[in-house]
A and B are shown apart, each in its own frame.
Chain A
Amino acid sequence: MPSFHPEEELLLSYATGSLREPMALLIATHLALCPSCRTEVERLEAVGGTLIDDLEPQAIDDRSLNDLLNRLQDPVTENHVAPRAPTETFERRLPQPLRDYLAHGLDGLPWKSLGAVKQAELLKDFPGYKTRLLRIKASTAMPWHTHEGQELTLVLAGGFTDGEMHFVAGDVATASPAVNHRPVADPGEDCLCLAVTDAPLRLTGPLGRMVNRFIRI
């Protein structure tokens, strides 16, 4: 069971649907690995169910109902893609929401080497976010890095130590811009992580500084 979880606020934003796709991908992948956060999201969704029940209904013409009743037997056009069999050991351990983003498997990703770290970008064209899979060679340190915004790192295989903390599969490490960190991969096996950084553009000026200040909490 994971010991490090995303903050409640992120689970709430995932449940309400306001979380953007890159962060939602990280949260959903964590949920596959974390039964307690899964239960929490189910609870938060139950709140949504209650609120929608009390929402002021907007009248709908009975004609719309009749239209729909006439269409009920229409053939289903949803294209269902058959799940692809995992091809390599690493991949076998990846839970579903992430597998959906790896159409050609882990090997089909455009990996780039940065010393002992290989990285591949997902959701490349998504504005305002950086979504990467990182593969860190066992026992090696990641290069120093800084980033704007908040960075969440979900361990998928192996583990790493950052300062006093040790992260293993399913754990989410949350780093704010204030944190200078230098994770070191565990010995024995390479560490595979999904890292998502949101770098909001409004981080300058008085309001931006205020936002920054709260993000650091």
Chain B
Amino acid sequence: MGSSKIAPEINNAAALAALLADVAERRDRHAFARLYRHFAPRVKGYVMRLGTDPAAAEDLAQDVMMTVWRRAEQFDGKKASLSTWIFTIARNRRIDVLRRERRPEIDPNDPMLVREPNAPADQEIDTAKRHRTLREAVTTLPAEQAELLRVAYFEDQSHSKIAERFGLPLGTVKSRLRLALAKLRPALEESE
């Protein structure tokens, strides 16, 4: 493994978001290269977990990073952390490319979008903080819950398929996932 090619982790969601702001505001190629070194190997890892060969996974990671470059100014750090935004781009791209399906999504500017009557139009979340506390919370999950959560997020399988593979009743898979999410909930709600 050429692990020397993996840049040391930028362990700070705010620092990553600042790099993206440089891309959005000044089309800063140097900042983009740093983002690439952080995210492209992770996106490649994500796509490979879906059973894709390394070359195709790398192509898809390139695609995702190209989208990051082109849509940088659409990123809203008050709604999602940069990792989350890139996760959603990678998810939608792999549904499109690997499954050849459309991904139905809401349009945030749709006049038909029903909004919370009593909430401010744009609720701000400290997404960098949420990312940090969430990351810590994930490390406290029991191994079997953490594993199922990763499979659910990374392997494109229905919960009944996951149950089959692990030889568990579907109810057990569902309840482990529910328990895992319940443990993460305080971290998710804390910064809202």
Contacts and interface: CB of A to CB of B under 8 A. Distances in A.
Interface string A51-63: 1111111111110
Nearest to A19: B158
Contact of B152 (A16, A24, A34, A59): A16
A54 B135 CA distance: 8
Given A35-B119, A46-B188, A94-B112, A64 B62 contact: yes
Interface of B is mostly: helix
A53 to B, nearest CB: 5
Contacts of A21: 101-104
Interface in B83-128: 83-88, 90-92, 94-95, 101-107, 110, 112-117, 119, 127
Contacts of B164: 207
A185 interface: no
Interface string B28-53: 01001100110011111110110000
Interface in B53-76: 54, 57-58, 61-62, 65-66, 69-70
A56 B3 CA distance: 11
B153 A16 contact: yes
B15 interface: no
A18 B156 contact: yes
Given A59-B2, A68-B36, 5 more contacts: A42-B80, A48-B153, A51-B150, A95-B106, A97-B107
Interface of B: 1-3, 5-6, 29, 32-33, 36-37, 40-46, 48-49, 54, 57-58, 61-62, 65-66, 69-70, 79-88, 90-92, 94-95, 101-107, 110, 112-117, 119, 127, 130-131, 134-135, 138, 149-150, 152-160, 164, 169-171, 174, 177-178, 181, 184, 188-189, 192
